[in-house]
Amino acid sequence: MDIKLVNRGSEGELFLTGRIDANNAEEMGALLLEVAQRFPNVTLNLRDLSYISSAGMLRIK
């Protein structure tokens, strides 16, 4: 999984690429939380995400 954050002022856009599975979902979730605390609005760009399991979906929720 690769993660890139683009700061657009009041919004952060997080680009997630690769795979999110049970092995890295927790790490991804922790990062999402951190980003959510920095920006009032967060956009997740999953365009280049090739795989996500329920573990990843739960963290996004």
Partner 1 sequence: MEKLTIKAKLENLNNVTEFVDSQLEQMELPMKTQMQIDLAVEEIFVNIAHYAYSPEDGMAIIEVELTEDPRVVITFIDSGKPFNPLANEDPDITQTADERKIGGLGIFMVKKSMDKVSYEYKDGHNVLTIEKKLEAITE
- State which residue, 2 or 7, has the beta carbon closest to partner 1: 2
Decide whether 10 or 61 has the Cβ nearer to partner 1. 61
CB of 61 to partner 1, least distance (A): 4
Which residue pairs, CB below 8 angstroms and at least 24 apart, start in 45-51? 45/13, 45/14, 45/15, 45/16, 46/16, 47/15, 48/15, 48/16, 48/17, 48/18, 49/16, 49/17, 49/18, 49/19, 49/20, 50/17, 50/18, 50/19, 51/18, 51/19, 51/20, 51/21
Catalog residues that contact partner 1 under the rule CB under 8 A: 21-23, 50-51, 53-55, 57-58, 60-61
Nearest CB to partner 1, comparing residues 12 and 56: 56
